[in-house]
């Protein structure tokens, strides 16, 4: 009888904890929805079962299309996990080896000593998107696809950045080449390979590879950005000049990005991958093992995306997170202008976070709060404060410099409703200087940078930026004064030294 009472009591505690967690989720995500603080989708799971999901904001502001649970997002760099899985599947079938040189499968590849393992672990030394700069300058309307990579690598004059295996250097080219190898070895294109060998076995019915000329999808979200710190409306990132190179010219390559899916399909992938449905369990373990460099040391840096203390490492297409109190987790983050994605699987607790955003969010705080709440801890407090810098920009453009300066003092003092960032103010100055076509744009830039020197007088960068604007306005003598002030505070400032040399001062 005693054991039965204990069991009932324990079940009661578990039930109460689950109920408390559910309430915490609801309170947190209701706040995001009420204040329109998250455009995108989030799904949380534990032990293979979804425990909460949220969908908020707009898939497309321009058409007023809202995000729903079925909205499809570009995974961006999370796509690399799928490319890695395809390579490991082919290895498990005996069709290739990870220590094969790339040249074995792609005879036109110009560098010796680079293996598939080096591509998987970003230790190849190959160039990243800079590989395409010259061809895009020559043909500005071109969209780079994987077909262009080998010819451009053969024209690349700078060689490898380092001996393969010596360093870690994140590089999308690695995964474009891996996608080409999947196609060469399997005999079918990447979209069909993924559908047959990963999407279908995992039950991912709402996923596909977005190849150039492939299927359009009305449920797919657009990448949305506020172009500058003085703009209020969100616009489509790939339609804007300042993002054209990455979001238009480099939008056609496969393997490193462009896998389109939903949060629920990503949970299905997670279940299939870690249950051994897609790879042998030994290959699963190998995929999430940290890379060792040629010197025998494991590559390590500060953890990305997730807030707080923790070490970040890399495996075979997988990011590895080691957080005090939570243990190891694996997954990947993705970023494109106007879009961010994150996938996390905790190896100990079997908790999973899938998060996508295509507009408003405080993404790092959001995904970290999800981890906290999954473990019965308080979320990071949600800030509903407005940017004092954006409010200042509006006042400057509509009412002039004196009014805007007065209002900035008011905004900075009203810490209940506004937050202030001198970094944002610096960005605003550059947005005025280089992005605005208004007749007053240079004067607006000067006013903005000038204010920042008084707000942060000990920051060398404020004087450096002000000097740049003064020089652009034709006021060389004052520019020199500001650069000298910047170099007094930071004698090693590369931008300051370069500017002074250009003016013939140093």
Exposure string of 53-86, with b = 16+ CB inside 10 Å and e = fewer, is bbbbbbbbbeeeeebeeebbbbbbbbbbbbbbbb
Name the band, by pLDDT with cuts 50, 70 and 90, for residue 3: low
Q: Which two tokens stand for residue 379?
A: 């979320």
Give the model's confidence band at 15: pLDDT under 50 very low, under 70 low, under 90 confident, else very high. Answer: low
pLDDT value at 17 more than 90: no
Cα–Cα distance, 414 to 441 (Å, whole number): 28
Among candidate residues 37, 27, 28, 76, the one with its CA nearest the CA of residue 362: 37
Q: Is the pLDDT of residue 269 over 50?
A: yes
Is residue 100 a contact partner of residue 113, using CB atoms and an 8 Å limit?
Answer: no
Task: Please report the pLDDT score of residue 98 as a whole number.
Answer: 98
Rounded mean pLDDT of the chain? 94
Query: Among candidates 220, 249, 447, which has minimal Cα distance to 339?
Result: 220
pLDDT surpassing 60 at residue 448 = yes
Q: Does 9 have pLDDT greater than 80?
A: no
Q: Which of 46-55, 172-181, 300-309 has the lowest mean pLDDT?
A: 300-309
Query: What is the structure's pLDDT at 5?
Result: 52
Residue 254 has pLDDT above 80, yes or no: yes
Residues 397 and 420: their CA atoms lie apart, in Å, by: 19
Q: What pTM was estimated for this model as a whole?
A: 0.91
Residue 506: the pLDDT is 77
Query: What's the confidence (pLDDT) of residue 2?
Result: 56
Domains recognised in the chain with CATH numbers:
76-374 (3.40.710.10), 386-502 (1.25.40.10)
Q: Residue for token digits 């607006």? A: 444
What pLDDT, on a 0 to 100 scale, did the predictor assign at position 7? 47
Structure tokens at 76: 């961006």
Number of residues that make up the chain: 506
pLDDT at 306: 84
Structural tokens at position 486? 């910047």
Q: How far apart are CA 68 and CA 57, in angstroms?
A: 9
Flag whether pLDDT at 6 surpasses 70.
no
- Residue 176, pLDDT above cutoff 70: yes
pLDDT band at 10 (very low <50, low <70, confident <90, very high): very low
pLDDT per position as a tens digit, 35-59: 999 999 999 999 999 999 999 999 9
Mean pLDDT over residues 307-318, rounded?
92
Whether pLDDT at 11 is above 70: no
Query: What's the whole-number mean pLDDT along residues 262-286?
Result: 98
**Is 67's pLDDT higher than 80?**
yes
- What's the per-residue H, E or C state across 234-284? CEEHHHCHHHHHHHHHCCCCCCCCCEEECHHHHHHHHHHHHCCCCCCHHHH
The pairing of strands 386-387 and 351-357 is unpaired
Compute the C-alpha angle 471/475/479, nearest 5°. Answer: 55
Express each pLDDT in 449-490 by its tens digit. 999 999 999 999 999 999 999 999 999 999 999 999 999 999
On the question of pLDDT at 8 being above 70, the answer is no
């Amino acid at each position: 009888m005693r054991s039965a009472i204990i069991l009932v009591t324990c079940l009661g505690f578990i039930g109460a904890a689950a109920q408390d967690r559910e309430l915490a989720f609801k309170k947190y995500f209701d706040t995001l929805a009420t204040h329109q603080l998250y455009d995108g989708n989030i799904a949380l799971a534990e032990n293979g079962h979804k425990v909460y999901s949220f969908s908020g904001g707009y898939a497309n502001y321009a058409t007023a299309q809202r995000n729903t649970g079925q909205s499809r997002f570009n995974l961006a760099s999370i796509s690399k996990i799928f490319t890695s899985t395809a390579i490991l599947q082919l290895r498990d079938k005996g069709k290739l080896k990870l220590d094969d040189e790339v040249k074995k499968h792609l005879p036109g590849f110009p560098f010796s000593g680079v293996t598939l393992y080096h591509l998987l672990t970003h230790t190849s030394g190959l160039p990243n998107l800079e590989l395409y700069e010259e061809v895009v300058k020559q043909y500005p309307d071109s969209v780079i696809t994987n077909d262009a990579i080998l010819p451009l690598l053969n024209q690349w004059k700078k060689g490898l950045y380092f001996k393969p295996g010596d360093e870690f250097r994140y590089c999308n080219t690695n995964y474009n080449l891996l996608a080409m190898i999947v196609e060469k070895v399997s005999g079918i294109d990447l979209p069909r390979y993924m559908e047959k060998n990963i999407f279908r076995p995992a039950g991912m019915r709402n996923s596909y590879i977005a190849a150039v000329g492939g299927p359009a999808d009305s449920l797919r979200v657009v990448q949305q950005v506020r172009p500058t710190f003085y703009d209020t409306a969100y616009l489509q990132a790939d339609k804007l000049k300042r993002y054209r190179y990455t979001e238009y010219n480099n939008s056609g390559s496969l393997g490193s990005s462009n896998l389109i899916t939903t949060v629920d399909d990503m949970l299905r992938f997670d279940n299939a991958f870690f249950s051994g449905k897609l790879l042998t369990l030994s290959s699963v373990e190998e995929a999430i093992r940290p890379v060792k460099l040629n010197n025998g040391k494991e590559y390590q840096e500060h953890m990305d995306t997730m807030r707080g203390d923790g070490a970040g490492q890399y495996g075979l297409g997988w990011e590895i997170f080691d957080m005090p109190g939570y243990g190891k987790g694996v997954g990947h983050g993705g970023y494109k202008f106007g879009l961010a994605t994150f996938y996390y699987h905790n190896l100990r607790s079997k908790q999973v976070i899938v998060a996508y955003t295509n507009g408003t969010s405080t993404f790092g705080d959001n995904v970290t709060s999800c981890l906290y709440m999954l473990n019965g801890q308080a979320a990071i407090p949600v800030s509903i404060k407005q940017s004092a810098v954006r409010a200042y920009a509006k006042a400057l453009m509509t009412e002039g410099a004196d009014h805007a300066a007065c209002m900035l003092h008011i905004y900075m003092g009203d810490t209940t409703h506004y937050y202030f960032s001198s970094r944002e103010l610096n960005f605003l100055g550059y947005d005025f200087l280089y992005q605005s076509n208004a007749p007053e744009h240079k004067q607006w830039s000067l006013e903005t940078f000038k204010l920042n020197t008084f707000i942060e007088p000990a920051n060398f960068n404020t004087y450096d930026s002000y000097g740049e604007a003064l020089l652009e306005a034709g006021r060389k003598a004052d520019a020199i004064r500001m650069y000298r002030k910047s170099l007094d505070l930071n004698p090693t400032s590369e931008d300051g030294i370069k500017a002074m040399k250009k003016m013939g001062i140093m």
